[in-house]
């Protein structure tokens, strides 16, 4: 996939209508935004287009409305917050059909530098199926399309891909450009040694990622719940730990692949175990640390142990590029967060380029206070995983390449 895309710095938008696909899928409680990170992340692109005299038309999805329009998924609160952050009025075009009379009127009356926000794109059934006439209706509002929603780039929807069938001038925004620069280059042309760290619960979620990263990285570290399937594949007893018995042969294949390619594959050498899973998840829990080959039959592994923390941290110390996706244990519990904290700390202390691949690992790094020490924290969990798998992301592929 060509990663050299036309950006907002390469286009002239003065007097033009610019449709920008942003990611305003923010958490709401009783109609109030509880975290506006995604709105603030979009500001640099929006401000650039305003400064350049573009007429900025924003579109995004919010939540998963099932049967068309639902008031609780309205983007109205986002328009209010965005107006505050920009220090100027954002016109909210509240049409259940998204491109309705309000939207058409608002866009027709725009002056250079004005901002209009459309209603939730998923209020239209066609959106997620990438069907007409929604793509052409969206496109009819604009002269230029800017994609700046990396979290939705792995989906071919009307607002991320279909619209480009009708608008020939396309570019990526600053947020997308940063994701492409970090994630894309880390995987395609990493500065070596390149260490990849995978965690999380299920091997099944990361099958293609493991295989693809083994070909790209120098060392692959596996922690989290998925490590126990690998340990079982090595013939170790794993007690009550989470195991996917259907993936044991796959794990054996991956270990053989690593050996054949001359790559290091690091698994936990010791494990933090308990007789019960914490309920609620942050409840106090009694644990002990045992060797990974000596997990008692009545206990389950819930985090990496102390020797493993040191082993993984040492591997990170020698790296020049590190990509991390997925926590090392049940990080929501203070007792079981030690492995994830140790890895986050190792990344925070290295001079390497450190890239956090969205999802739970991003949440962990932010929650544990290490966010400002990372080179890049991806805004898209699913999208960054598919990127690491080596898949072509539709929302990137449709944007014009730089000559």
Same domain for 378 and 246: yes
Is 81 annotated in some ligand binding site? no
Report the CATH number at residue 76: 3.40.50.1260
Tell me: do 29 and 64 sit in the same domain.
yes
Contacts of 260 (CB under 8 A, 6+ apart): none
Global confidence as pTM: 0.86
DSSP secondary-structure letter at 352? S
Residue 76 confidence (pLDDT): 97
Coil vs helix vs strand at 305: coil
Is the separation of the CB atoms in 374 and 353 below 8 Å?
A: no
The reply to whether 306 falls in a domain is yes
Asked if 224 and 198 count as a contact pair (C-beta separation under 8 A), the reply is: yes
Q: How many domains does the chain divide into?
A: 2
* Residue 43 confidence (pLDDT): 98
Rounded to an integer, what distance in angstroms lies between the CA atom of residue 343 and that of residue 309?
7
Q: Is residue 191 part of a domain?
A: yes
Residues 259 and 303 in one domain: yes
145 and 270 together in one domain: no
Residues 136 and 212 in one domain: no
User: Cis (ω within 30 of 0) for the bond into 193?
Assistant: yes
10-residue mean pLDDT series, the chain (403 residues)? 86 98 93 91 97 98 92 96 97 97 98 98 96 98 97 95 98 94 85 94 84 94 96 96 95 97 98 96 96 96 98 95 94 94 95 88 86 90 84 92 89
With CA atoms as reference, report the closest residue to 324 among 198, 201, 232. Answer: 198
| Beta-carbon contacts of residue 41 (< 8 Å; ≥ 6 apart) | 23, 175, 379
Render 295-325 in DSSP notation, one character per residue. Answer: --TT-EEEEE-HHHHHHHHHHHHT-SEEEEE
**CA–CA distance, 359 with 373 (Å, rounded to integer):** 18
Euclidean distance between CA atoms 398 and 245, whole angstroms? 39
**One domain, residues 335 and 381:** yes
Residue 332 assigned ligand-binding role? yes
6 assigned to some structural domain = no
Q: Are residues 22 and 149 in the same domain?
A: yes
CB atoms within 10 A of CB 223: 28
Calculate the CA 33 to chain-centre distance: 20
Domain assignment present for residue 11? The answer is no
Tell me if 87 is assigned to some domain: yes
Q: CA 365, CA 369: separation in Å to the nearest integer?
A: 6
Picking from 128, 147, 175, the residue at the C-terminal end of a domain is 175
Within a domain: 325: yes
Residue 192 marked ligand-binding: no
Annotated binding residue at 157?
no
Active site residue ranges: 38, 202, 359, 382
Judge contact between 252 and 233, C-beta under 8 A. Answer: yes
Residue 358 annotated as part of some ligand binding site: yes
DSSP string, 190-201: PPSSEEEEE-SS
C-alpha distances in angstroms, 134 versus 45, 159, 399?
24, 9, 19
Say whether both 304 and 374 belong to one domain: yes
Domain boundary among 175, 190, 225: 175
- Domain that residue 201 falls in: 182-388
Residue 320 lies inside a defined structural domain of this protein? yes
Q: What is the pLDDT of residue 301?
A: 97
Residue pair 200/225 in contact (Cβ under 8 Å)? The answer is yes
Structure tokens at 342: 């140790």
205 is in an annotated binding site: no
Domain C-terminal end among 148, 175, 202:
175
Determine the pLDDT at residue 11.
Answer: 97
**What whole-number distance in Å separates Cα of residue 116 and Cα of residue 303?**
47
Report the DSSP pairing between strands 219-222 and 194-198. Answer: parallel
Per-residue confidence (pLDDT) for residue 201, from 0 to 100: 83
Classify residue 153: in a domain, yes or no. yes
92 is in an annotated binding site: no
Q: Are residues 163 and 264 in the same domain?
A: no
């Amino acid at each position: 996939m060509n990663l050299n895309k036309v950006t907002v710095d390469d286009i002239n938008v003065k007097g033009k209508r610019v449709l920008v696909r942003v990611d305003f899928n923010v958490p709401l409680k009783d109609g109030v935004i509880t975290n506006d990170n995604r709105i603030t992340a979009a500001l640099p692109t929006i401000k650039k287009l305003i400064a350049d005299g573009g007429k900025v038309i924003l579109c995004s999805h919010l939540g998963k409305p099932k049967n068309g329009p639902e008031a609780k998924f309205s983007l109205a609160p986002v328009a209010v917050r965005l107006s505050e952050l920009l220090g100027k009025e954002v016109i909210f075009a509240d049409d259940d059909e998204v491109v309705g009379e309000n939207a058409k009127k608002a866009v027709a009356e725009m002056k250079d530098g004005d901002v209009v926000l459309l209603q939730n794109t998923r209020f239209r059934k066609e959106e997620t199926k990438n069907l007409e006439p929604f793509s052409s209706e969206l496109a009819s509002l604009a002269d230029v399309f800017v994609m700046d929603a990396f979290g939705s780039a792995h989906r071919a929807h009307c607002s991320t891909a279909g619209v480009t069938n009708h608008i020939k001038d396309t570019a990526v925004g600053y947020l997308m450009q940063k994701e492409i620069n970090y994630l894309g280059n880390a995987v395609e042309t990493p500065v070596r040694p390149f260490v990849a760290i995978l965690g999380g619960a299920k091997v099944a979620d990361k099958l293609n990622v493991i295989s693809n990263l083994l070909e790209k990285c120098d060392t692959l570290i596996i922690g989290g719940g998925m490590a126990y399937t690998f340990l079982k594949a090595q013939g170790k007893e794993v007690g009550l730990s989470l195991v996917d018995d259907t993936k044991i042969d796959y794990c054996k294949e991956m270990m053989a692949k690593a050996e054949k390619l001359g790559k290091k594959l690091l698994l936990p050498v010791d494990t933090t175990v308990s007789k019960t899973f914490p309920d609620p998840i942050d409840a106090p829990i009694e644990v002990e640390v045992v060797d990974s080959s000596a997990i008692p039959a009545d206990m389950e592994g819930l985090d990496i142990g102390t020797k493993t923390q040191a082993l993984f941290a040492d591997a990170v110390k020698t790296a020049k590029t590190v990509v991390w996706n997925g926590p090392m244990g049940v990080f929501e519990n203070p007792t079981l967060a030690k492995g994830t904290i140790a890895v986050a700390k190792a990344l925070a202390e290295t001079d390497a380029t450190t890239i956090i691949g969205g999802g739970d690992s991003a949440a962990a790094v932010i929650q544990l206070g290490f966010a400002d020490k990372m080179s890049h924290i991806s805004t898209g969990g699913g999208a960054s995983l598919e990127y690491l798998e080596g898949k072509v992301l539709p929302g990137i592929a449709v944007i014009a390449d730089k000559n």
